[in-house]
Structure 1
Amino acid sequence: MRWFTDYEEEIKMALELAREAVKAYPSSLRETAETMLRRADPRHNRSNYVAYLLPLWLAKDERHAAAAIRLAGAHFLAALHFGLVDDMMDEPPAVWSGERRQLLLLSQLLQESFKAEYRRHFSSDSVVWEDLGRYTSEWAVAALNERARIADPRNVRQLAAKAAPVKLGASALLELRGEPEQRTAAERAVELTLATLQLADDWADWQDDLTQPEGNAFLSLVREHLPLQDQEAPWDARLVKRAVYHYGALDGLSRIADDLCARLSPLTGVSPMLIAYQRSICDGIRRDARAARAESDRLVLGGFHYHLHNFLKK
């Protein structure tokens, strides 16, 4: 995990910068923001590591290290902003409590703090702002359509769009490095990584998504693996487990993730840390698939022994 352990000090500094930014907020909002930043600390909690580490991975030398840390701090704030928006979309405004309204205000402050840090490094005519607008639009479309269309586990752009603003970290560092011509390739590399991460997240969250399975790519794959008579049945945990343990749905997910890894590594100019991070995600899915196969074999063997035992007793 060098993609993480080599950057723990930088992460600490980035978080401190994010905390400095929220100190100017009204007290009740500041306390909430500070709590959220503690929970977002990837040194202690499961995290969307690429969102914060991408600027650090792309800072090739000391000239850009300080700016990369500051931008990583900005991305902590951006992640909180987009996370709050996602959460609030799950509950209609008509039933928002006073606390929910406070979170809406906090979201706006976090967004402004994120942009303020970017304005320290990029002029108003920088292509970075155009990229921010484009990535935000991609995210908005993905959020709008999440329940309107079935997630495609093989559609890289669709999967990556749910975290599209993360790509700004690559655009920003390439601009600082004076290598804007690499933006297209870097964007594709980050999309492949974000798509892999989304597959892993959908596998981890499938039980929470059973009531609205359309936006979960793993559950889309589950439907493909079920027998025809089960594909139209109401979603429940029993069906998903059947797809995993009897019909190889998790093996299918692992193959798709491995394909995304195979597509990333040959790209030129890709950060070795980005490649290592994506591989760690694929390895995790593959381990889970192996464990599911082992459990399936155990259950089959156990059933065989049970019936053999009963037969021999006769």
Structure 2
Amino acid sequence: MDWFSAHRESIDEVFGEAEHLIRAFPEPLNHHGLAYFAKFDMRQQESTKNYICYLLPYWMQESTHLPNDSVKRLSLANVFVMLYYFVVDDIMDSTKEAHKDKLPLANLFQLQFQMMYRALFPPQSPFWHYYETYVLEWADAVAGEPGGDYFHTDKRKVAWKASPVKNASTGALLLAGQAELIPAVTGAVEQVLVTLQMLDDWADWEEDLDEGSYNCLLAFLRGNVGGSEGGSPTPDWVKQQIYVRDGLEGYSEIAAKHHEGLLALETPLKELCQFHLHLVVRLRVTAKEINEKRNQLLSGGLSYFLSNSSNF
């Protein structure tokens, strides 16, 4: 995995510095912050990995030729961007009582990345226009998602749920004097973000179905077969579509088409393309495994398979 292993040492340093900054938060927010940070700490084996958030500046370096310190600053800022938006997401999903510790923590995370951006970009820099645009895109996507069916109507807005990630790519291009590449690189990053959301939604479909949250896989399955009986999908209906009717295969084919579109953009981002291909292969291999396992089962064992299946 060149897109990751080539930068492992640098990312370890980024997370080490992030941890140091969080330790300096006032008590007890430093303890709350470190506990939250641990869930996403790339150095921890069991943590949630959000590679694109902190690797994107390093993937840009081959074309921007930025000095290592600038790349590190952009990566570190994006770590705090990631933490901030995950806290905000948790707040939106949590009960009122859970807000007490999370709201001030979110503000401290936000303060960190804003200070880093101010050190890199003066007030008159066009970076701040893009920064505001990405916040507005995020707000638009989050607010409109429940009724928007973006997977079918406007896939860009699936990516917009993670629009602030683009601070790293756009910031790198502006620092390198390559602003003319921003539209193409933004399109490439958004393409990857859509496919990344598709994988997340495959992993989370049962939870999203239970909570009534929008989910790309569920939207695809409903659109592909005209909905489920009774109008609202049930877990059994979804499993039928995935494990009996090869629903994940068609879903993975969409991701493969995204890769063709990404390559067609001809951006100088080899590692970003490698990462995207990794996502596509994961999804296609999973679909193939489901197909093969089902074909190995005798008809009498199919109900057992359905009742005991889980995401591979």
What is the deviation of 1:100? 2.3
Q: Which residue of 1 aligns with 2:306?
A: none
1:28 aligns with 2:31: no
**Cα distance in 2, alignment partners of residues 11 and 234 from structure 1:** 43
**Cα distance in 2, alignment partners of residues 269 and 305 from structure 1:** 48
What is the deviation of 1:303? 1.8
Q: Which residue of 2 aligns with 1:311?
A: none
Q: Which residue of 1 aligns with 2:271?
A: 273
Greater displacement, 230-239 / 250-259:
230-239
Q: Which residue of 1 aligns with 2:107?
A: 108
* Unmatched segments (≥5 aa) in structure 2: 303-312
Contact 2:173 2:179 in 1 (8 A): yes
- Cα 1:154–1:189 change in 2 (3 A) is farther
Contact 2:195 2:279 in 1 (8 A): yes
* Unmatched segments (≥5 aa) in structure 1: 307-314
**Cα distance in 2, alignment partners of residues 64 and 221 from structure 1:** 43
What is the deviation of 1:304? 7.9
What is the deviation of 1:10? 0.8
**Cα distance in 2, alignment partners of residues 184 and 225 from structure 1:** 32
The normalised TM-score by structure 1 is 0.89
Greater displacement, 112-121 / 54-63:
54-63
Larger Rg: 1
1:6 aligns with 2:6: yes
Cα distance per residue 1:162-217 (max 9 Å; x no partner): 11100111001101111111111110000000001011111110010113445101
Instruction: Report how many aligned residue pairs link the two structures.
Output: 299
Contact 2:32 2:101 in 1 (8 A): no
Contact 2:39 2:48 in 1 (8 A): no
Match of 1:57 among 44, 50, 59: 59
Q: Which residue of 2 aligns with 1:245?
A: 243
For 1:211, what is the secondary structure of its paired residue? helix
Q: Which residue of 1 aligns with 2:49?
A: 47
What is the deviation of 1:77? 0.9
What is the deviation of 1:2? 1.0
Greater displacement, 207-216 / 57-66:
57-66
Q: Which residue of 2 aligns with 1:168?
A: 167
Contact 2:15 2:42 in 1 (8 A): no
Contact 1:199 1:217 in 2 (8 A): yes
**Cα distance in 2, alignment partners of residues 305 and 75 from structure 1:** 48
The AA in structure 2 aligned to 1:82 is Y
What is the deviation of 1:295? 2.3
- Cα 1:248–1:30 change in 2 (3 A) is same
Cα distance per residue 1:34-91 (max 9 Å; x no partner): 2222221224233121011001111237642211112111111111100011111113
What is the deviation of 1:234? 3.4
**Cα distance in 1, alignment partners of residues 85 and 231 from structure 2:** 34
- Cα 1:267–1:151 change in 2 (3 A) is closer
**Cα distance in 1, alignment partners of residues 174 and 17 from structure 2:** 22
For 1:27, what is the secondary structure of its paired residue? coil
Contact 1:153 1:199 in 2 (8 A): no
1:19 aligns with 2:22: no
The normalised TM-score by structure 2 is 0.90
**Cα distance in 1, alignment partners of residues 209 and 293 from structure 2:** 23
Q: Which residue of 1 aligns with 2:281?
A: 283
- Cα 1:56–1:154 change in 2 (3 A) is farther
Contact 1:213 1:220 in 2 (8 A): no
Greater displacement, 54-63 / 233-242:
54-63
Greater displacement, 61-70 / 267-276:
61-70
Q: Which residue of 1 aligns with 2:197?
A: 198
**Cα distance in 2, alignment partners of residues 305 and 186 from structure 1:** 48
The AA in structure 2 aligned to 1:258 is A
What is the deviation of 1:128? 1.1
Contact 2:61 2:71 in 1 (8 A): yes
1:68 aligns with 2:64: no
Contact 2:80 2:110 in 1 (8 A): yes
- Cα 1:303–1:272 change in 2 (3 A) is same
The AA in structure 2 aligned to 1:16 is G
- Cα 1:49–1:172 change in 2 (3 A) is same
Cα distance per residue 1:139-179 (max 9 Å; x no partner): 11111122233342573302101111001110011011111
The AA in structure 1 aligned to 2:277 is R
Percent identity, aligned pairs only?
A: 29
